[in-house]
Amino acid sequence: MLKIENLTAHYGAAQALFGVDLDVGKGETVALVGANGAGKSTLLKCLMGLVKPSGGRITLNENDVTNSSPAKMVRLGLALSPEGREVFGELSVFENLQLGAIPLKLSKGEEAARIEEVFVRFPKLRERHKQLAGTLSGGEQQMLAMGRALMAKPALLLLDEPSLGLAPLITDEIFAIVHQLSRAGTTILLVEQNAARALSASDKAYLLANGKMVEQGKSSELLNDPILRAAFLGAASEENPAASRLGAAGLTNIRLEKPDMTQQNFMPAFSSEEELKAHQLAGLKWTLRHAYEGSADYREKLDDAGITPDSIESFDDLRRLPFTTADDLRDGYPFPLRSVPFEQIVRIHASSGTTGKRKVLGYTQKDLDDWTDFFARCYQMAGVTPLDRVQVAVGYGVWTAGMGFQLGCEKIGALAVPVGPGNIDMQIQFLLDFQSTVFCSTASMALLMAEEIHKRGVADKIAVKKIIYGSERSSRSMRKKISELFGGAELYDITGLTELYGPGTGIECSEHDCIHYWGDYYILEILDPDTLQPVPDGEWGEMVVTTLCKEAAPLIRYRTRDITRIIPGRCACGSILPRHSRIKGRSDDTIKFRGVNIYPSSIDTILSAVPGVGSEYQIHLSRDDAGRDHMRLVAERAEGVAAGRANELIHEIHHQLKKQLLVSVDVELVDYASLPRSEKKSQRVFDNRIQDEIV
């Protein structure tokens, strides 16, 4: 949208800008950061035509606007909220707002409509619309200056030092508004002395010193770079917090409490696959000896299989080890697979029980420390930093989810907002009040929240940039819908199970086409669920895991029942860690229909590929008096799709199911949002073919 090339500016003989280059893309928030006197305000004045550049070129939407008048720049879509507010103190709030649209010569009706929009954005200005601007507080004057600039409905809003002279709480309020404007699609060039605030509120940034650009890049990287932080933010200490501009921003205490958070790295130090394999083999040997010596159940299993702790010499020996199943955990209740003395167990967690009796697992302190570290790795892979605020909307208590998400969040140094599941009103209130940047939940809860955010019209008022979800499958269309309704948030699928510590045993990376799993904590095998023989990489099978350092309840070839496949080769993201596909289903929840095995995720995939069909569906299975099985698929129309298209969509769904799954299904299409949403796992399959109890 805006491009500045080799810009120079003088005040008489004194040169203020030296060959400055800068560009702003449509919809971006770009920060221009520098100390007092660096030339930041001069650059904005050159853009607005208030100062004539002595050299260089300014283009707006590819049109040369160098040396244009201020009135012309307003008509072209620029508006400036100047340093020091510059409100007209003898005029009322209402009259100051009217001045913002004078160059546009608006009709009275349009002017009134724009003033109303400003009042909606700044409710305090409505309360004081008759009050003289000179009697407003500093924060209210800043709101008035921003509101006056917004009267022009600018394509590009220039904000010059919006936090100057304001108390930290008022600065919070001003920058919350900046975030809202950005979420609503306003393009912003933000000039700030307060580097911490500016970098936190922007997508990319330029650092200006003595009239010259000295650094540029993504704001998050600049803010987290310790060298740049020291150079541009100062080097505060507990004895002298004022040595950093963070002190003025009210952030010094936080940074001093976690001084090296930005330098933490939770990724393994392996430089090659060979090093990882050597680590895994050593861990496998340790686990076998630990389980044999610590657990009577494991010793019996291994003795029956003719295995001793010295039996493992290579990975080929892994196939000789006996399997562990969910039945072993249930039979050993309440402390299954316990391999340490009771006094070493510091906590228990249990599964949700969605597949039967709850499985309870014990943890030593080392188990918890390991879990916390690799959960922090999940956050790191998703790009979460100490500057993020993470709203945790999953279950706490005996379940692993809430505790895992919170401990990992605190380990990486981010702010945890532990709300727990459900309570949509409170969830949204917290998103608004705390400006959470990361939302953690099940996929169903994320969809429920996304639709509610859309319904309430607050997508531009929240700050969520990332959604980390797990616990259930999700279709592509469901992910797309969640992202769109959350205002373009990036989604990360996180994996895990209680038996294997809990959630956080893997996560998708920025490439969003795989799950990286933590091969330094467990070995993953993919086996044919019927023959229990290994399948080639790339083929679907059941995930079987063996832990490498788990103390309280180690797992040896534990059948997870999850269906996935190994993705061979190194990921484009550069991580050395191995990867598998998103979980496709379970080997024990396959729908067997007229001799065909169907995974619910196959239905996900088919529906996602039919334009006009929503992400929510139900599968109803029944059996008639003649013993014939019937499947009825109930799916939603996508939002905004007319009911008149029902026959066309039903025909296409039926055709694709027949073509891809080789079965005939009765299809019913219902209105958007008519199927139930849940903050927990949505029930997809209703199998009514067996009416009597299973004995």
**In three state form, how does the secondary structure of 99-114 look?**
HCCHHHCCCHHHHHHH
The enclosing H or E element of 176 equals: helix 168-183
**pLDDT over threshold 50, residue 247:** no
Which residues partner with 564 through β-bridges? 541
pLDDT at res. 558? 98
Query: Average of pLDDT values for 528-541?
Result: 94
pLDDT at res. 550? 97
Asked if residues 17 and 4 have their Cβ atoms less than 8 Å apart, the reply is no
Q: Indicate the range of 98-107, 208-217, 483-492, 598-607 predicted with least confidence.
A: 598-607
Cis peptide, bond prior to residue 268, ω within 30 of zero: no
Listed residue (504, 507, 502, 505) closest to 523, CA to CA: 505
Percentage of the chain surpassing pLDDT 90?
Answer: 63
**pLDDT over threshold 90, residue 300:** yes
Structure tokens, 656: 């694709």
The long-range contacts involving 621-628, CB below 8 angstroms and separated by at least 24 positions, are 621/591, 621/593, 621/685, 621/686, 621/687, 621/688, 621/689, 622/688, 622/689, 623/688, 623/689
- Range(s) for CATH 3.30.300.30 in the chain? 591-687
Helices (H), 457-530: 476-485
pLDDT at res. 692? 43
Which residues partner with 492 through β-bridges? 468
More reliable by pLDDT, 196 or 33: 33
One-letter amino acid for residue 408 of the chain:
G
- What is the average pLDDT value for the chain, to the nearest integer? 87
Q: Please tell me whether residue 424 adopts helix, strand or coil conformation.
A: helix
* Euclidean distance between CA atoms 234 and 195, whole angstroms: 10
Q: Indicate the range of 205-219, 273-287, 414-428, 675-689 predicted with least confidence.
A: 675-689
More reliable by pLDDT, 551 or 445: 551
Q: Tell whether domain 591-687 is in CATH 3.30.300.30.
A: yes
Q: Indicate the range of 113-122, 135-144, 355-364 predicted with least confidence.
A: 355-364
One-letter amino acid for residue 218 of the chain:
K
Residue 131's contacts (CB-CB under 8 Å, 6 or more residues apart) are 92, 93
Asked if residues 394 and 405 have their Cβ atoms less than 8 Å apart, the reply is yes
SS3 per-residue string spanning 649-672: HHHHHHHHHHHHHCCCCEEEEECC
Query: Average of pLDDT values for 238-253?
Result: 42
**pLDDT over threshold 70, residue 190:** yes
pTM of the model: 0.69
Q: DSSP readout, 207-224?
A: EEETTEEEEEEEHHHHHH
**pLDDT over threshold 80, residue 591:** no
Listed residue (606, 560, 556) closest to 583, CA to CA: 560
* Euclidean distance between CA atoms 566 and 560, whole angstroms: 15
pLDDT at res. 246? 40
Query: Average of pLDDT values for 140-145?
Result: 93
**pLDDT over threshold 90, residue 223:** no
The enclosing H or E element of 290 equals: helix 273-294
By DSSP bridging, strand 522-527 and strand 541-547 are antiparallel
* Euclidean distance between CA atoms 17 and 7, whole angstroms: 7
Q: What is the pLDDT of residues 669-685, one digit of tens each?
A: 999 989 987 766 677 88
CA distances from residue 360 to 27, 172, 332, 382, 421 in whole angstroms, order as listed: 49, 44, 9, 29, 21
Q: The tokens 């050993």 sit on which residue? A: 332
Listed residue (248, 220, 221) closest to 234, CA to CA: 248
SS3 per-residue string spanning 593-621: ECCEEECHHHHHHHHHCCCCEEEEEEEEE
More reliable by pLDDT, 560 or 597: 560
More reliable by pLDDT, 241 or 153: 153
* Euclidean distance between CA atoms 350 and 489, whole angstroms: 31
* Euclidean distance between CA atoms 24 and 416, whole angstroms: 33
**pLDDT over threshold 90, residue 418:** yes
More reliable by pLDDT, 323 or 640: 323
**pLDDT over threshold 60, residue 355:** no
pLDDT band at 257 (very low <50, low <70, confident <90, very high): very low
By DSSP bridging, strand 78-81 and strand 156-160 are parallel
- Range(s) for CATH 3.40.50.300 in the chain? 2-219
Percentage of the chain surpassing pLDDT 70?
Answer: 91
More reliable by pLDDT, 491 or 593: 491
* Euclidean distance between CA atoms 33 and 17, whole angstroms: 14
**pLDDT over threshold 60, residue 165:** yes
CA distances from residue 619 to 47, 603, 634, 645 in whole angstroms, order as listed: 60, 9, 7, 21
CATH assignment, 2-219:
3.40.50.300
More reliable by pLDDT, 231 or 671: 671
**pLDDT over threshold 50, residue 241:** no
Q: What is the CA radius of gyration of the chain?
A: 30
pLDDT band at 499 (very low <50, low <70, confident <90, very high): very high
**pLDDT over threshold 80, residue 256:** no
**pLDDT over threshold 90, residue 222:** no
pLDDT at res. 354? 43
pLDDT at res. 694? 28
321 backbone dihedrals φ, ψ, rounded to 5°: -75, 145
Q: What is the pLDDT of residues 43-55, one digit of tens each?
A: 999 999 999 999 9
Q: What is the length of the chain?
A: 695
One-letter amino acid for residue 147 of the chain:
G
